[in-house]
Amino acid sequence: MIVQIKTAVHDAASKNQKIAMFHFQVLKHAEELEGMEPEAFCREIGVPNTYQTEFRKMLSLARLMRELGVRLA
C-alpha cells in the first residue's frame, strides 16, 4: 500500500496534483493508516515533513466521514 501511495503521489506531481493526490490517497487508505505516525508516513512516501499536518487532517476527515456514513467508493 505504501509503495502504491508513493507512486500515485509522485506521479501526480507532474500534473500539479501532488497535494490533491496525497489527500485522496490518505482518505482512501485512512483505516489502514490510522496507527501510523505522520512523520514515518511522510518519510516513507518521500514527501516533506510539512505534509504531516495534511496527513492528520485527512485522517480526521476520514473519521468524520465514517461517523456521518459517507464512504469513498
73 pLDDT exceeds 80? no
Mean pLDDT computed over 38-59: 98
7 in any annotated domain: yes
Domain residues for the domain of 54 are 2-67
24 in any annotated domain: yes
Total domains in the chain come to: 1
Angstrom distance (rounded) from CA 65 to CA 29: 13
- By CB neighbour count within 10 A (0-12 exposed, 13-18 middle, 19+ buried), where does 22 fall? buried
73 in any annotated domain: no
pLDDT for the residue numbered 72: 78
Angstrom distance (rounded) from CA 29 to CA 4: 11
72 in any annotated domain: no
14 in any annotated domain: yes
Average pLDDT taken over every residue of the chain: 96
